[in-house]
Amino acid sequence: MRKPSISTGALVGALLTAPLIAVLFLAGRLFGVPFVPFDIFDWLARVLPGAVVTIGIDLIVDVVTLLGLGLSEAAKAAEQALAVAIFLLTGVVVGAVLFGIYRARPTSSRYLPAVLLGLALGLIALLISLTVNTTATTSPLVSGIWILLAFVAWGAAFAWVHNRLSAPLASAAGSAAEVSTMQRLDRRRFLVRVGSATAIITVVGTGLGALLRGEGRGRLADGAPVDAPVDALVDGPVDAPVQALWSQRNPLPNAGAEVEPAPGTRPEFTLPSDHYRIDINLLPPTVDGAEWRLRVGGLVGVPREFTLDELRSYEAMHQFITLSCISNPLGGDLIDTTRWTGVSMQRLLPDLGLAEDATHLRISSVDDFYEYVSLETIEADDRVMLAYQWDGLPLPTENGYPLRIYIPDVYGMKQPKWIDRIEAVNGWAEGFWVERGWDEQAQVRSTSVIDTVAAEAPVSSAGGETLIPVGGIAFAGARGISRVEVQVDDGDWQEAQLREPLSDLTWVIWRYEWPFEEGQHTFTVRCFDGNGDLQIVERNPVRPGGATGLSSESVRL
Ligand SMILES: Nc1nc2c(c(=O)[nH]1)N[C@H]1C(S)=C(S)[C@@H](COP(=O)(O)O)O[C@H]1N2
Ligand SMILES: [Mo]
């Protein structure tokens, strides 16, 4: 009789692993147990060498860009899909290996190796889940029992399927060839039945899981009452109206600005729910604000802790801030502007009790992300801030609830979210991404982008000429923007108008009114920072120091 082949094992691996993923997903949504495929992916992102991770990120960015999707929207989804694919592929390999073992040792037990393999992989998965701990809200004991049970059942299913596939037909009679054909047909029918059953479990599990609101508190961002105590904000979802946002109740500080954005320019102010999100977690860590403490240790007189309320009792500081990711490609959407509220580090510093020899603070987060900030930087700039609100509400879960740092003039990679510890140290060391090959300073590079050539909204000059508004943003970190220029085809650089920005720390909206001429035209933009320095014109990729080069737009008019 023919033994099931190794490729049948691979197929069975896929058929059995898909429902495992769905069941893990549903149970995660229902009970907060770990979603192992995401945990493994997050763990890989932390332990693999920076170069490998960076290649992976580049690949995702390329694919998302190629598909014409917005990076800030699609990048996380692409990563999540990849995480599931990696897990599924592992299941395929496990199936092939197990069926290979069965072929090599036809007489020994089927269940023993399958259960042992399930148990071993379950233990590894459990260790990884407990280490990164980014998806679960259950205790290690509950998580452990659940993962081991699920993986052992999954392993045992391989043995059961293999037994059924290699069992002799009960009613087999006739020539050897006939029996073999009948057996093949029977196997196929059985596999189709297994496939249908696992497909149903997969679809139902995934569907139900997606319908359920996760344990996460991400939705808070859109609407918790502004003045409610933080504790009230974290105990379950609050469906307050969007009016709670500061920006819905107050005019923006540049409301009277003379220069209007050209129609089609991106919103000058980003609602928190629209802010881009980049971090090393597939699901944002959820922190219980009531339990949370900011622990301060290292080179301090006495280690101490701050509650959120204690931090909020310091004089609050509000700043309009543009944050950009160093991975933002030229003209990309990993850059946004909102209103941050928190406490200036300078105010907090005297209460930390730093020792004489402390030179830097190591800021670290619940996801083990970390970065070093020099005391010199803090002492020179009162805008360095520990922030707990965006747009008048507690930070969204995805954007760092309950606490994140702001450091002017550097990319987001230097600015931990979900902070839970500050350690005073002597001497500088590399932060999470610097250690993985990115720029040590990560100072924001000046950039300018064309958002719109608004041919549909022409205006008339004083002389009756038709003008087309062209516009976009320019950003140079905390250095500000002193001048923006636009070039049409090979013409001279023309000065654009600058809209008064929301603050010294935000992007500037520019506008240029172009005397209309029919035909195909290429518009190029460049900016000068507050020191009068022209942006870097040469094209450079995002790695290691942030993208440079000029953005242009070709349009047929
Ligand atoms: N704890 C933690 N903080 C982090 C990160 C992270 O992975 N973990 N990523 C950083 C990076 S690379 C960027 S660009 C910003 C993005 O902040 P946002 O998601 O709120 O836009 O967060 C920074 N802070
Ligand atoms: Mo970033």
Strand (E) or helix (H) holding 555:
strand 551-556
Which atom of ligand 1 is nearest to 336's Cα?
Answer: 21
414 Cβ inside 6 Å of ligand 1 = no
pLDDT tens string, the chain, 557 residues long: the values are 578 999 999 999 999 999 999 999 999 988 889 999 999 999 998 898 888 888 887 888 888 888 877 787 788 888 899 999 999 999 999 999 999 999 998 888 899 999 999 999 999 999 999 988 777 778 889 999 999 999 999 999 999 999 999 887 666 567 778 777 888 888 889 999 999 999 999 998 888 888 875 433 333 333 333 333 333 343 333 444 455 899 999 999 999 999 999 999 999 999 999 999 999 999 899 899 999 999 999 999 999 999 999 999 999 999 999 999 999 999 999 999 999 999 999 999 999 999 999 999 999 999 999 999 999 999 999 999 999 999 999 999 999 999 999 999 999 999 999 999 999 999 999 999 999 999 999 999 999 999 999 999 999 999 999 999 999 999 999 999 999 999 999 999 999 999 999 999 999 999 999 999 999 999 999 999 999 999 999 999 999 999 999 999 999 98
Strands 419-425 and 294-298: parallel
280 Cβ inside 6 Å of ligand 1 = yes
Amino acid symbol at 299: L
SS3 519: coil
Alpha carbon distance 433, 70 (integer Å): 23
Characterise 369 by phi-psi region: left (phi > 0), alpha (psi -120 to 50), beta (else).
beta
278 Cβ inside 6 Å of ligand 1 = yes
SS3 61: helix
- Indicate the DSSP class of residue 221: G
Helices and strands (H and E) in the chain: how many: 12, 19
Measured in angstroms, how far is the CA atom of residue 76 from the centroid of ligand 1?
Answer: 13
Measured in angstroms, how far is the CA atom of residue 504 from the centroid of ligand 2?
Answer: 21
Which atom of ligand 1 is nearest to 277's Cα?
Answer: 19
Which has the closest alpha carbon to 415: 546, 479, 323?
Answer: 323
Atom 15 of ligand 1, residue of closest alpha carbon? 412
The answer to whether 172 and 182 are in contact (CB under 8 A) is: yes
What ligand has the least distance to the C-alpha of 278? 1
Strand (E) or helix (H) holding 86:
helix 71-104
331 Cβ inside 6 Å of ligand 1 = no
The H-assigned helical ranges of 167-292 are 176-211, 230-234, 246-249
Measured in angstroms, how far is the CA atom of residue 366 from the centroid of ligand 1?
Answer: 12
Burial (CB count <10 Å: 0-12, 13-18, 19+), residue 228? middle
415 Cβ inside 6 Å of ligand 1 = yes
413 Cβ inside 6 Å of ligand 1 = yes
pTM to 2 decimal places: 0.83
Measured in angstroms, how far is the CA atom of residue 326 from the centroid of ligand 2?
Answer: 5
72 Cβ inside 6 Å of ligand 1 = no
Q: What are 403's two structure tokens? A: 């606490």
Measured in angstroms, how far is the CA atom of residue 498 from the centroid of ligand 1?
Answer: 29
Which atom of ligand 1 is nearest to 275's Cα?
Answer: 21
Alpha carbon distance 76, 86 (integer Å): 15
Atom 18 of ligand 1, residue of closest alpha carbon? 277
Instruction: Give exposure, 318-353, as e/b (b: 16+ Cβ within 10 Å).
Output: bbbbbbbbbbbbbbbebbbbbbbbbbbbbbbeeebe
Other beta carbons less than 10 A from residue 172's beta carbon: 14
Measured in angstroms, how far is the CA atom of residue 415 from the centroid of ligand 1?
Answer: 6
How far CA 452 is from CA of 331, 485, 513, in Å, comes to 12, 15, 12
Alpha carbon distance 555, 183 (integer Å): 65
Other beta carbons less than 10 A from residue 300's beta carbon: 16
416 Cβ inside 6 Å of ligand 1 = yes
Which atom of ligand 1 is nearest to 276's Cα?
Answer: 21
Alpha carbon distance 339, 246 (integer Å): 8
Which atom of ligand 1 is nearest to 399's Cα?
Answer: 20
The answer to whether 265 and 451 are in contact (CB under 8 A) is: yes
Q: What are 174's two structure tokens? A: 């006739």
Measured in angstroms, how far is the CA atom of residue 386 from the centroid of ligand 2?
Answer: 18
Measured in angstroms, how far is the CA atom of residue 327 from the centroid of ligand 2?
Answer: 6
